[in-house]
A and B are shown apart, each in its own frame.
Chain A
C-alpha cells in the first residue's frame, strides 16, 4: 500500500490521464529520429506508466474485493437488524459471527481510509457505506450493552455485607472471588489485592458476561464510538447504584426534611445511613471499581472518569444527609449518633482515598473529608453543650422521696457510654480546647496515676460529674426537711460512685475520685443520723437523775411519750422516703437500729421500775421491726396501730 500511495497521482480521473500519457509516449517512441538520450527517457517513462496502469487495474480489483467483503459483512449485520432476539441471547456462535462482521467492516474502512487520498469515486462510496454499516452496528452494540447491563446485573442482599463479623464477610468474598477467577484471564489482580484483607468485593454483574461487555467495549472503542459506550455504561451503572440505595432503604431527604425530623425518626435514618455508607463504600463501590477495571482497564484515564461519573450523584446524596445531620441542633441525645457517624467515616477514609485517588474524584474525596471534620466538630460542640445542659437543667419543686434523680441516671449512663468513644473524643476535644492541661492531675500523674485519668475525656467527664453534683446540691435545697436533703444527696452521689466503680468510668475518674466520693456519701449518712435522730435520742438521755421520786417518774413518763411521738413522726415521714440501693438502705437501717433501739432498750431496762407497760407504747422489738419499714418509698403511719 505504501508503494501505491507514493506513486499514484492524487487528482481525480487520473486513470485517464495516465492512459493518455502512455498513449503519447508510445506514439513518440514509434518515431524513428530520436536521440539515444531521449529514447532512453521515453523507455523509462513507458515502464513507469505501464506499472501505474497495472497498479490502477490492481487497485480496481482490490476495490472490488473490498466491495464484496463489505457486502458480505453488511448482510450479516443487517440480518441481525430484522431479528428481535438480542445477539448475546442467541448463543456464542452468533455473537462471534457478529463481532467478526463488525471487525471486518472496521478493517475495510481503515484500508479504504488509507487509500482515501486517491479520491476515487467508488472508493469514497465504499467508505461511506462502511461508515454507515458501522453506525448501524454501533447502535446495535449499544443496545446490546444496555440489555446485558440491565439483565445480568446482580444485586446482593445487604445482609451479606453485614459488618458484625468480619470473618463471615471474608468467607463470602472468598467464594465470589474464586468464581471470578475462573473467567478472568489475569489472576495477578487478586494477588495485588491479596494483602488488603479488609477489602471485599462482590460481582455486581454476572461474571459470565464480563468478557461480553469487554468485547463490546473493545469493538466500540476501536470504532471511535467510545463516547457512546461510556455514556451508556455510566448511565446504566448509575441507575444500578441509585436502585441499590433504594434497596438499602435510604429515604430521599432534603436538608430541611432532616432538620425538621423528630429525633426518633432521624436516629433511625442515621443508623440506616451508617450501614449504607459502609456497604456502599467498602463493598459496592469497591466492586464497581473492579468492574470498571475489568472492562475499561485498557483505556487509560477513561476508566477512573467513568467510575467517578457513575458514583458521583449517589455519593453526593449520601454526603448531603451527613451534612444535614451535622448542621442540626446540638441535642445531647444526638451525640452518640454523631460519634457513630464520625467513626464510620474515619474507618472509611482510606477506602475513599483509594477509590477516588484520581483527579476526577478529587471533589468527592475532599467533600468526604470535609464532612468527617464537620461531624467531628458537631460532636465536639454537642458534647460541650451537654455540659451546659446539665448546669441549666434546674427545677423549682423537690424530687419526691429523695431518691435518684432521672438527671443523675441520665448523665451517668450517658457518660458511661461515652467511654466507648474515648479515643475519638480525645481527638475531638483536643482540637476544641487547644491547650488546656490540668496541672493538678499532671502532677499526680508523675506519681504513677494511670494515664487514662489525665486524658481530655477524663478531664471533661470529671467536670460533668462535678456539674451534676452542684446541680444536685442546689436541688437538695428545695427540700424543707434537712434530713431529706442528706438522703437525696447520699442516694445520688452513691449512685454516681456505683456507676463509676462498676464500669469503664473507673479508669477515667481514678480511685482518688471514688475514695473522695465514698467519703461524701458517708458524711451524708452521718449528717442524716445526726439531723434526724439527735433530738429523738436526747429524750432518752437521763442526765444523771435517778431514783423513784414522783417528779422524776412524771418526767420519765413524759419522755417516753415524747419519744413515741417523735418516732411516729419520723416513721410517718421516712417510710415515704426512698433509698433504692438495698445495701445502702440496710446499712442505714442497721445504723439506726444500733443507735436508737439500743438506746431505747437501755432506757426501758434502766427505768423498768418507774415505767409500767401502760407507758411503754412500743417495745424495743416493735421498733426494730418498724425501722425496717423506713426508706421503702411507701408512706406508713403508726398512729392507729395500738393505743
Chain B
C-alpha cells in the first residue's frame, strides 16, 4: 500500500514528520531516532494514565479503571497504534517486513490482534450487562429519592438492588461454575420456573462455552519476548512495544468489564523491569494486578470503578432495606440519602459514559480490523508469506 494512503487516515494524530519517514528506508540512525520518539510517546501517554491512580484526592482526575479512565486508555491505544503503523510500515519497502525477525514477529502480532478482536466483542457484550445493572440501580435511586421513605419504596429499591447484586454475582460465577447460573435463574417467589426479574438468559455469551478471556490473554502474552542484542535497535522493538500495549489494554478491559471466563487471568506481564518506556505500564499493571487478586478472592463482577461503587452501595442499601421500620431514624435517613446521591451520581456517569465507551470499543475493533488488513496486504506484497496467516 503506498504511503500516501496512510496520510489521510491518521497522520494527523502522529508527530513523526513526513520527510523523516520518506528517508527512513534503510536509514538506521533515523530508525533509531524514530523508535526513541515512539517509545517516549508511549511512556508519556501511559504515565498520564498512571498519575490518575496516584492522585486519588484530586477530583479533577478520573480514577483508575473508571469509565472515563478506560476511555482515555482506549484513546491512548488508538494513538500508539497509529504511530506504530507509521513507524514500521509507512514509506517502507515491503521487503523489509519480510526479513527476519519481522517475518515471524508481524504474523505473531497479527495473531494477537485476532485474539484482541474477540476480547473486544466479549467486552462489548459485557458493557451490555453493566448497562442492565445501571437500569436496576436507577430504579433504586428513583425509589429511595422519595420522601418520606416508606415501606413500598424501600421494598421496590430492595428488589431492584437484590437483582443487581445477584446478577453481578451470577455474571461473575458463570465463568467459574455454570451450574450457579441455572440455580440463580430458577428461583422465583412463587417457586415457579419464572426467573426473578433481571435474570435472563441473554446474560449468557455469544461465543462457545469453551471460550475464555483469560486464556486469550495468556496466549497473547505467551510468546511475547523482548528483543535482545542487535534486534533491540531494529524494527523488532516497536513490534514488541505494540504487543505489550495491545496485550495490556486488552487485559485491562477484561479485568474491568464482565467477560466470559476470567479465572486464571494472568497478573504478571513479561516486561523487563529496566525498560524506561515501560515504567508506567508496569506500574499500572502492578496496581491493577493487585486489585484483580483481591477481586478474585472476593468475587466481584469486575474492577470497573463505577461498578464496584454500585455493588458496594447496593449492598449497603439492601442492608438498610432489610432493617427498615417506619419511621427511619433521622441519622439513618441522612446516611441513606448520601448513599443514594452517590448511587445517582454513579448512575449519571454510567448513563453518560457507557454508550461512548461501547462505541469506542467498537472503534478500536474496527481500527484493528483495518490495520490487520493493511498489514496482511503488505506481507502479501512482500510475497514471503509461505504459510497462510490466520
The residues of A with any CB-CB pair to B shorter than 8 Å are 84, 124, 127-128, 130-136, 138-139, 142-143, 146-147, 150, 224-225, 227-228, 230-232, 235-236, 238-239, 242-243, 251-257, 259-260, 312-313, 316-317, 320, 323, 327, 329, 363, 367, 370, 374
Contacts of B138 in A (CB 8 A): 227
A138 to B372, CA, bound (A): 52
Residue from A128, A225, A242 having most chain B Cβ neighbours under 10 A: A128
Asked whether, in the complex, the Cβ of B155 is within 8 Å of the Cβ of A143, the reply is no
- Chain B residues with Cβ below 8 Å from A327 are 369, 372-373
Cβ of A131 to closest chain B Cβ, rounded Å? 3
Across the A-B interface, the 8 shortest Cβ-Cβ residue pairs: A131-B152, A132-B152, A128-B150, A135-B152, A235-B200, A238-B202, A317-B206, A254-B207
- Tell me the bound Cα distance from A462 to B359 in angstroms: 44
Contacts of B358 in A (CB 8 A): 363
- Within B368-388, the residues touching A (CB, 8 Å) are 369, 372-373, 388
Complex-state Cα separation, A231 to B131, whole angstroms:
11
Chain A residues near B75 (CB-CB < 8 A): none
Q: Min CB distance, B297 to chain A, in Å?
A: 29
Shortest B275–chain A CB gap in Å is 30
Q: Is B366 an interface residue (CB 8 A)?
A: yes
In whole angstroms, how far apart are the Cα atoms of A128 and B148 in the complex?
9
Specify which of A147, A252, A253, A256 is in contact with B114 (CB 8 Å cutoff): A256
- State the Cβ distance, B298 to closest chain A Cβ, in Å: 27
Q: Are B202 and A313 in contact (CB under 8 A)?
A: yes
How many angstroms from the CA of A230 to the CA of B160 in the assembled complex?
A: 13
User: Which of chain A's residues has its CB closest to B151's CB?
Assistant: A132
Q: Is B274 an interface residue (CB 8 A)?
A: no
Q: How far is the CA of A455 from the CA of B358 in the complex (A)?
A: 42
Q: Which of B138, B139, B197, B366 has the most CB of A within 10 A?
A: B197
Chain B 332-348: CB-based contact to A (< 8 A → 1; otherwise 0): 00000000000000000
Contact of A227 among B139, B150, B199, B209 (CB under 8 A): B139
A518 and B188 CA atoms in complex are apart in Å by: 79
Q: Give the CA-CA distance A265 to B313 in the complex, in Å.
A: 49
Q: List 12 A-B contacts (CB under 8 A).
A: A135-B152, A138-B156, A225-B156, A227-B142, A231-B135, A235-B132, A235-B199, A239-B201, A252-B207, A257-B208, A323-B369, A327-B372
| Closest Cβ–Cβ distance, residue A251 to chain B (whole Å) | 7
Asked if A252 meets B159 with Cβ closer than 8 Å, knowing A132-B150, A228-B197, the reply is no
Expressed in whole angstroms, the Cα–Cα distance for A415 and B142 within the complex equals 64
Interface of chain B: mostly helix, strand, loop or mixed = helix
Is the CB of B115 closer than 8 A to any CB of chain A? yes
CB within 8 Å for A256 and B202 given contacts A251-B208, A363-B362, A367-B362: no
Contact residue among A124, A131, A235, A260 (Cβ-Cβ distance under 8 Å from B153): A131
B366–A259 CB distance below 8 A: no
Q: Give chain A residues whose Cβ lies under 8 Å from the Cβ of B359.
A: 363
Is B194 a contact partner of A312 (Cβ separation < 8 A)?
Answer: no
Segment 247-300 of B: residues with Cβ below 8 Å from A: none
Please list the residues of chain B having a beta carbon within 8 angstroms of any beta carbon in chain A.
Answer: 114-115, 117-118, 121, 124-125, 128, 132, 135-136, 138-139, 142, 148, 150-153, 155-156, 159-160, 188-190, 192, 194-195, 197-202, 204-209, 211, 326, 358-359, 362, 366, 369, 372-373, 388-390
Interface centre among A124, A135, A236, A253 (most CB of B within 10 A): A135
Question: Please, which residue of chain A has its CB at the minimum distance from the CB of B207?
Answer: A254
- Which residues of B are found within 8 Å of A316, using beta-carbon distances? 121, 124-125, 206
Q: How many whole Å from B39's CB to the nearest CB in chain A? A: 29
Contact B197 A232 (CB under 8 A): yes
Q: Establish whether residues A143 and B188, one from each chain, have CB atoms under 8 Å apart when the complex forms.
A: yes
Is B151 within 8 A of A128, CB to CB? Answer: yes
A146, B197: Cβ atoms under 8 Å? yes
Given A227-B138, A255-B118, A259-B114; A242-B150 close (CB under 8 Å): no
Known contacts A135-B156, A150-B194; A256/B115 CB under 8 A: yes
CB of A121, distance to nearest CB on chain B (Å): 11
Complex Cα distance, B197 from A239, in Å, reads 13
How many angstroms between the C-alpha atoms of A29 and B152 in the bound complex?
A: 50
Closest to A127 in B: B150
- Who on chain A is nearest to B216 by CB? A256
Q: Which residues of B contact A142 (CB under 8 A)?
A: 197
Which residues does chain A contribute within 8 Å of B372, judged by CB atoms? 327
Residue of A nearest to B200 (CB): A235
Q: Considering the chains assembled together, what is the distance between the CA atoms of A28 and B141 in angstroms?
A: 54
Closest to A320 in B: B121
Q: Give Cα A239 to B200, complex, Å.
A: 7
Complex alpha-carbon distance, A595 and B281, angstroms:
86
Q: Let me know if A135 and B115 touch, CB within 8 A.
A: no
Task: Give Cα A224–Cα B145 distance, bound, in whole angstroms.
Answer: 14
A127 to B117, CA, bound (A): 54
Is there an interface contact between B197 and A312, defined as CB atoms closer than 8 Å?
Answer: no
Cβ of A225: which chain B residues have Cβ within 8 Å of it?
156
User: Could you list 12 further interchain pairs (A-B, Cβ under 8 angstroms) beyond the known A142-B197, A143-B197?
Assistant: A128-B150, A139-B189, A146-B194, A238-B202, A239-B200, A242-B202, A252-B208, A253-B208, A256-B114, A257-B208, A329-B388, A363-B362
Q: Considering the chains assembled together, what is the distance between the CA atoms of A253 and B128 in angstroms?
A: 19
In the complex, what residue of chain A is closest to B150 when comparing beta carbons?
A128
- Give B241 Cβ to nearest chain A Cβ, in Å: 24
Residue of A nearest to B139 (CB): A227
Known: A252-B207, A316-B206, A363-B362. A143 touches B152 (CB 8 A): no
How far does the alpha carbon of A130 sit from the alpha carbon of B197 in the complex, in Å?
23
A143 → chain B closest CB, angstroms: 6
Residues of chain B within 8 A of A238, CB atoms compared: 200-202
| A132 pairs with B206, CB closer than 8 A | no
- Distance of A475 from chain B, by nearest CB (Å): 22
CB within 8 Å for A139 and B159 given contacts A252-B208, A253-B207: yes
Chain B residues with CB below 8 A from A224, complex form: 142
Verify B132–A128 contact, CB threshold 8 A.
no
- The smallest C-beta distance from B253 to any residue of chain A, in angstroms, reads 16
In the complex, the answer to whether A320 meets B206 with C-beta atoms within 8 Å is yes
